[in-house]
């Protein structure tokens, strides 16, 4: 293991920079995502188990159109942000703490011809530095469970104008929380920040889809190593852990949360 590899294991920013740099070179990862059966367009390669129906729900719940603006917290390489910009006509601003993810997102927006309506910046999901009430909607996919709950809820409320809508997918703990940022129920946290929860649903069959992805990654281990270098080991370690946990009681459930800024 090199010093860079050790640094990536201990520093979250270095960890995700290594992954996003590697993903930009990997056809095998894109093939593994397609194996999950989500019917995504081939240009959209998310760092989550995500399908077209999931994205359509996000767009429908955001209720934005041309002239509106959406912020995507922890946007990763920008695929869902760019898709929402294309589908709705709204402008999007993506925020992620990984420089490599932002580089990939900007490249994708240019390739898809929406760079004039898609801005991507490096920032902290709980302290973005963006203007108060600057957005008509907010989205976030599989990210806020890694951020202090109260801080990220307050930041989301700060960013969205009154009446603006938020659509968030995040994990909740169903056992004693094993990460300090995990909660059992986001509703009190959202409501304390001035966000009225309209919908609060468990995401059906997501674990089964994740297991398909993990097995697809392990099946492509040699190709991933050839394409991504040492960054592949970070993905393969997670995949092996996921498969090993398949027979254990689930420790988390994924929620889709739709809320409105009061």
- Percentage with pLDDT > 90 across the chain: 83
* Segment 83-112, tens digit of pLDDT: 999 999 999 999 999 999 999 999 999 999
* Segment 134-193, tens digit of pLDDT: 999 999 999 999 999 999 999 999 999 999 999 999 999 998 888 899 999 999 999 999
What is the value of pTM for the model shown?
Answer: 0.92
Between the alpha carbon of residue 224 and those of residues 100, 126, 176, the distances in Å are 18, 32, 35
Beta strand 135-141 pairing with 91-96: unpaired
Q: What is the DSSP string of 161-210?
A: EEEEEEEEEEEEESSS-SSTT--S-SHHHHHHTTEEEEEEEEPTTHHHHH
* pLDDT surpasses 60 at 9: no
E strands along 76-194, which residues? 91-96, 118-122, 135-141, 160-173
Cα dihedral across residues 148, 49, 27, 71: positive or negative: negative
* Segment 167-184, tens digit of pLDDT: 999 999 998 888 899 999
Residue showing tokens 């281990």: 221
* Segment 200-220, tens digit of pLDDT: 999 988 889 999 999 999 999
Q: According to the model, what pLDDT value does residue 204 have? A: 86
The pLDDT-based confidence of 10 (bands split at 50, 70, 90) is low
* pLDDT surpasses 90 at 250: no
Which domains does the chain carry? 3-261 (3.40.50.150)
Count the Cβ atoms, other than its own, within 10 Å of residue 56: 12
Phi, psi of 122 (to 5 degrees): -80, 130
Which has more confidence, 34 or 128? 128
Q: According to the model, what pLDDT value does residue 7 have? A: 42
Q: According to the model, what pLDDT value does residue 6 have? A: 41
If we measure between CA atoms, which residue out of 130, 188, 126, 134 comes closest to residue 164? 134
Residue 167's DSSP bridge partners are 139, 258
Q: What is the mean pLDDT of residues 63-72?
A: 98
Q: According to the model, what pLDDT value does residue 173 have? A: 94
Between the alpha carbon of residue 14 and those of residues 47, 51, 72, 101, the distances in Å are 16, 27, 21, 11
Q: According to the model, what pLDDT value does residue 4 have? A: 41
* pLDDT surpasses 70 at 1: no
Count the Cβ atoms, other than its own, within 10 Å of residue 40: 21
């Amino acid at each position: 293991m090199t010093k860079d590899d050790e640094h990536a294991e201990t520093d979250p920013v270095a960890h995700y920079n290594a992954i996003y740099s590697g993903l930009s070179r990997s056809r095998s990862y894109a093939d593994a995502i397609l194996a999950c059966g989500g019917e995504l367009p081939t240009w959209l390669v998310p760092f989550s188990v995500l399908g077209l129906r999931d994205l359509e729900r996000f767009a429908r719940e955001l209720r934005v159109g041309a002239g509106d603006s959406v912020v995507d917290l922890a946007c990763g390489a920008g695929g869902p942000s760019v898709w929402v910009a294309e589908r709705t006509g709204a402008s999007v601003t993506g925020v992620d703490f990984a420089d490599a993810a932002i580089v990939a997102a900007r490249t994708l927006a240019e390739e898809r011809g929406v760079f004039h309506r898609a801005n991507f910046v490096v920032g902290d999901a709980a302290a973005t530095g963006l203007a108060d009430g600057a957005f008509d909607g907010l989205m976030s996919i599989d990210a806020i469970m890694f951020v202090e709950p109260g801080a990220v809820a307050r930041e989301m409320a700060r960013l969205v104008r009154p009446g603006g809508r938020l659509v968030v997918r995040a994990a909740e703990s169903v056992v004693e929380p094993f990460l300090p940022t995990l909660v059992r129920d986001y509703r009190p946290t959202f409501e304390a920040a001035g966000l009225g929860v309209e919908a609060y649903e468990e995401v059906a069959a997501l674990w089964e889809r994740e297991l398909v992805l993990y097995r697809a990654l392990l099946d492509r281990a040699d190709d991933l190593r050839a394409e991504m270098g040492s960054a592949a080991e970070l993905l393969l370690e997670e995949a092996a852990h996921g498969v090993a946990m398949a027979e254990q009681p689930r420790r988390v459930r994924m929620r889709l949360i739709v809320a409105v800024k009061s």
